[in-house]
Amino acid sequence: MADMNIQVTQHTVPKKKAGPWAQTWRRFSRDKAALVGAVLLGIVILLAVLAPFLPLDDPNAVNLAKRLQPPGTDGHLLGTDELGRDMLSRLIWGGRISVSIGFFAVGIAVVFGTILGLIAGYFQKFFDTVIMRFMDILMAFPYVLLAISIIAALGPGLINTMIAVSVVGIPYYARIVRGSTLTFREMEFVMAERAIGASHFHIIFWHILPNCLPPLIVAVSLDVGWMILAASGMSFLGLGAQPPLAEWGVMLSEGRKFIRMAPHVSLLPGLALFCVVLAMNLIGDGLRDALDPKTKV
Amino acid sequence: MVSYVGKRLLALIPVLIGVTILVFSIMHLSPGDPAQIILGPKATAESVKQLRHELGLDLPVYQQYFRWITNVLAGDWGRSIQMKMEVLPLVLDRFGATFILTLASALISIVGGVLFGIIAAAKKYSFWDRFLMFLVLVGFCMPVFWFGILLQIQFGLKLDWLPISGMHSPGKTGFVDMLPYLILPAVSLSAGTGAVIARMTRSSMLEVLGQDYIRTARAKGMKEQKVIYKHALKNAFIPILTVIGMQVGFLLAGAVLVEMVFSWPGIGTLMVKGIQARDFPLVQGIILFVATSYVVINLLVDLIYAYLDPRIKYK
Amino acid sequence: MKRIPKALLAVSLTVAAFMAGCSNEPAEPEKQPAQTEQTSSGEKVIVVGLQAEPTSFDAHQISDYNTSRAAMEIYDQLVQFKDESTELEPDLAEKWDVSDNGLEYTFYLKKDVKFHDGTPLNAEAVKFSIDRQIDPKHPYHETGTFAYADFTFGMVDHVEVVDPYTVKIVLKEPFAPFLSNLAMHAASIVSPEAVKKYGKDFSKHPVGTGPFKFESWTPGVEAVLVKNPDYFKGAPKVDKLIFKPITEDQTRLTELESGSIDMIVNIPPDDLERLRADANLQVLEQPGMHVWWTAFNTQKKPFNDVKVRQAINYAINKESIVNNILHGTGELANSPVPPTVWGHNATLKNYEYNPEKAKQLLAEAGYPNGFEVTYWVPESGSGMQQPATMAAAIQADLAAVGIKVNIQTLEWGTYLDKVFQPKEKMDMDMHQMSWVGDNGDPDNFLYAMFSSEQWPTAGFNDSFYKNETVDKLLKEARTTLDKQKRTQMYEEAQQIIMEEAPWIVLDHEKQIVAANQKIKNFKLHPTGVFRFANVDVE
């Protein structure tokens, strides 16, 4: 795997014009779909941030007499779950947790993956061999086992679930970034920088990293959703967030038990997750197009 | 070419050694004692201690590792602590089932994903593009276990078209008997992967379609269909292949959840059960086997690239 | 484009080669041609959906319900429990004597009973079946790991063959429940010849004397038993039993409702209503030998104060949990001993739901503002019912009286490890646990869980409960042979235990089986084992 490098997307070096970021932003803001995505994500984040100030029921208030009420029931706009807790409140509070899991897990994976990928791709030789071999080991290891083992060792819980799913993501980012790095380090503009004596650090962070971003952004846009789903898979195996914490992944996997008589219990968190994934994708597509003007014909 | 393959095979050795060390330390360092679990909460401390001795668990971990690895190299993969059976035949048998499931859903997701991606790219920003990409996102968002249960209720119970779970009718074997059993699990497993492939196909097609030589071809008056299938797809296929290679790993692993929902007798269910019981020899055997097949599959994918793209050189 | 099909062809070829290498063959089925030829048409088959995969068909190595449900019809024991009760009746032994000192048990075996492999059942086989498990020097001791050997035969000194059909078991000390132990799965009599022939693989080539013979076992797929036409109590009516492991509850239900399997266990309480309304199905239930509780660490603050323990018991609405979460799949408990076991003290009452009284007791104990504790909960586990949901309900009830409960869910393997630590290493506040009776004797509930001799890691007293009167009563009851005296002692012990509340005793889970209407004459047994010898299919 290590000796052949195929870029995931083949894009050329951005032209060195004045204010590339401003240009990107201008292009992005003209993309209607991307704006819809941004608004959607904005709403989700806003709801999550404002959860403590909204007039919601306590998301953990149990009422066994009113279990599994369908949406539209008095006092429970979106019904109740298997312990009679208010679904609307749990969805919004759950959003706080799930969206942060998604972003943090991807964030950790991207940061570590990118750094490792840059080092491996730029310095090559020894670093490349050691880092990429280790990434191969991680990738060859079935991720469910990796996650289960991390959780078995650290104990279940939100933070550990997050660590587990993000460790799984690291090799993927490392590979993507390394691939791009290998291409760009041979490009004229990098050669030129090196010729005038720029430091490695400068070259890596100012010239190579920005060029690695477009494929990263596409990957990230799907991965936030993937991380939430992976966390949900963990709780299907019984290793997710701890009760009574509301979290979409747990709600999805616990809700499957009531799929016949109260489908809303699992459908609603699924829908919420869908909104986030949709928004992230629209934004991701818009950003990619904006960063890489060539694809716009 | 031959020396390249040889080199690549050599490079697998440290990876696999790393995998064995990793799995061994994870299993042995995580809490939980196979002797306690197998004897259950009702066992006395004395009998737990004796069983630990019989299983060789009271030796230092590194000694246990060397004992295990030398046995494995000699072809003896040990005996499952919980199932009392020899590990290697058990793993081979169950891996076959997982492989069939993974292969079927890889086919579904590659064919479906590439097709959706091409259509969406060809009709860029049209209704069909939006609709297909929306559908793809819906597929991506559905947790396999949830989607699987819905499929069972719809196609197994209500419509009664397909069997609900298992791999064969009672007491039967054979490929034809298996086919109807394969459909639902394969479809629910392919949704997520198919979505990723569809998106990647669309985006790399768009990329290629924007390049100069395509414009030239169009300017020369070439038919749009010919442009897409003859020129664009060929060049777009390489990034798509990369994703497919990566997704195979996810399919192998994602199969765990599908296997649990559909009682598919694959290696995933065996692994989860093994981890729960801290069945060291079994889990180690499974991981070693799965990791080996994963690296071999990726090697094959790389060889296919090399075959497809003459720009890639062997070092 | 032209090259791609070739490449794909290459992949598919490799794949095909791969698959040929790992085809899906059952674990060497021991096919009896006579049975397999008369397929389809008139054959009576029952397909049972199990919750998990059986782990071994060697009766001596069984340690869980799933396995015993699939395997126990292969075997018989010296004595057996009567239908629907834990009273004993003869099985392979025609009759037996117990010496006056309670140390020697002599069994007279039925003659002309044959194992499925044709070898005769005799005193040697009985001795072999017991010695194999308890004697580390026995030549066939290495053929398995015997989880229940200690429990079943820990008190046995040795086994003597008196004559070919008479066998004597000598105990180290009198042990009142011993005869009940002999009806358990670990006391099954296996064919010595088969063990010698298959060694460690006896677990997939089991041979017993029971109403059904083992045919094949494909792990993860199914286990098949066929009827034993020469069964010494008469051939069973059903030709074939097929056991399939189906882990996911919803899948198991859908399979039953669609009619492709005939019988399932472990039914989620919420789905029970629907099954009851289904005209094609029958729902059978019976009180089981089970108890579910939450243990306090009685050696640690604040639970070393009996008032705190009582307060928590008052604070929890147990009835609501049983009715709303368990939907009547459990029966509210009034003692740790289930009513199905003799010695159960029916006069006791569980703590009623009274949050006011709880607050008052907490104030008296010096915690007017409550406190904060950690509550360990397994994510699943045999007999644990709905651990997370029940924990959440308890958490909410305790929050109402000012006690902040932090739930920590653990995977079963880790959980057992954490719960069964010696007192010095124990940092537990409270945790959930359940117990399913083995031999229908109250000793199996009370001594095991409340005697201070049974503190972990020696035993199962997971609340580290210690009360001298209780200790004395339970110890004496073990060695007393007079059942009436024992009953009195157990009743007294239960009263003290309920008063001192080392646990929140919640419920006794019922055994519930849903089956297709075509299955006739199936009866549940309190021990949880399935009996198919008299079952018929319409």
pLDDT digits (tens, 9 = 90+) for A219-265: 787 788 788 888 778 777 766 666 677 888 888 888 888 888 888 88
Is A64 in contact with C274 (Cβ distance < 8 A)? no
d(CA C321, CA C328): 9
Alpha carbons within 13 angstroms on the beta-carbon side of residue C177 total 30
- C156-163 and C166-171 beta bridge pairing: antiparallel
The parent domain of residue A31 ranges over 21-51+85-290
Question: Could you tell me if A276 and A99 are in contact, meaning their C-beta atoms sit under 8 angstroms apart?
Answer: yes
Instruction: Report the relative pairing of strands C503-516 and C281-287 from DSSP bridges.
Output: antiparallel
Query: Has residue A33 been placed in a domain?
Result: yes
Closest CB from B46, B156, B265 relative to C221: B265
Distances (CA, A) of A77 to A71, A258, A263, B192, C528: 6, 19, 15, 31, 44
Q: Which residues of B touch A255 (CB under 8 A)?
A: 146
Say how many CA atoms lie within 13 Å of C473 toward its Cβ: 22
C396, C407, C413 ranked by CB distance to A242: nearest: C407
% of residues, chain C, pLDDT over 70: 92
Cβ contact, residue pair B37, C10, below 8 Å: no
A73 found inside a domain: no
Q: Give the global pTM.
A: 0.82
Both tokens of C506, joined, read 């919640």
- Do A114 and A212 form a contact (C-beta atoms < 8 A)? yes
Q: Given an 8 Å threshold on Cβ–Cβ distance, is C55 in contact with B307?
A: no
Bridge-partner residues for B66, per DSSP?
none
Tens of pLDDT, residue by residue, chain B (315 residues): 677 788 878 888 888 888 888 888 888 877 778 887 777 766 777 778 888 888 888 888 888 898 888 988 888 888 888 877 888 988 888 888 888 998 898 889 889 998 898 888 888 878 888 888 888 888 888 888 888 888 888 888 888 888 888 888 776 777 888 888 999 999 999 988 888 888 888 878 887 777 777 777 777 777 777 777 777 777 777 777 777 776 776 676 678 888 888 988 888 888 888 887 788 889 889 888 888 888 887 788 777 777 766 655 544
pLDDT score for A243: 65
Judged against a pLDDT cut of 50, whether residue A18 lies above it is answered with no
Chain A within 8 Å of C392 (Cβ-Cβ)? Answer: yes
> What would the pLDDT profile of C160-210 be if each residue is shown by its tens digit?
999 999 999 999 998 888 999 999 999 999 999 999 999 989 998 999 999
Position A246 in a domain = yes
In a domain, A4, yes or no: no
**Assembly ipTM:** 0.80
- Interstrand relation of C240-245 and C330-332 (parallel, antiparallel or unpaired): unpaired
Measure C259 CA to nearest chain B CA, in Å: 9
- Residue B267 CA to residue B272 CA, distance in Å, equals 9
Residue A186 lies in a domain: yes
Q: Number of folded domains in chain A?
A: 1
Q: Closest chain C residue to A68 measured between Cα atoms?
A: C270
Structural domain includes residue A56: no
pLDDT of residue C2 exceeding 50: no
Position with higher pLDDT, C400 vs A176: C400
Contact B164 C251 (CB under 8 A): yes
Looking at beta carbons, which residues of chain A come within 8 Å of C414? 152, 155
Indicate if the pLDDT at residue A188 is higher than 70. yes
Other beta carbons less than 10 A from residue C299's beta carbon: 15
Residue B26, token pair as written in the block:
């994870």
In chain B, where does DSSP find H-type helix? 2-29, 34-39, 45-54, 61-73, 87-122, 127-141, 144-151, 175-209, 212-219, 224-226, 233-262, 267-276, 280-308
- Helix B2-29 and helix B280-308, axial crossing angle in degrees, nearest 10: 150
Q: Show the domains of chain B with their CATH numbers.
A: 2-73 (no CATH), 87-314 (1.10.3720.10)
> Which tokens hold the place of B300?
């094959």
Structure tokens at A283: 């934004």
Instruction: Report the sign of the C-alpha dihedral through residues C192, C197, C200, C201, in that order.
Output: negative
For C185-198, the three-class secondary structure string (H helix, E strand, C coil) is HHHCCCCHHHHHHH
CATH number at residue A116: 1.10.3720.10
Write the DSSP symbol of residue A78. T
- Which residue in the block uniquely carries the two structure tokens 């940061």? A111
Nearest to B83 among C55, C64, C433 (CB): C55
Query: In the structure encoding, which two tokens stand for residue B71, read together?
Result: 């046995």
pLDDT at B253: 66
Q: State whether the Cα torsion B296-B298-B304-B306 is positive or negative.
A: negative
A98 in any annotated domain: yes
Q: In this structure, what token pair is assigned to residue B291?
A: 């990791």
- The distance of C412 to chain B (nearest Cα, Å) reads 7
Distance separating alpha carbons of residues C435 and C528, to the nearest angstrom:
13
Residue A132 lies in a domain: yes
Complete DSSP assignment for B79-106: B-TTT-SBHHHHHHHHHHHHHHHHHHHH
Most distant CA pair in chain A, distance: 76
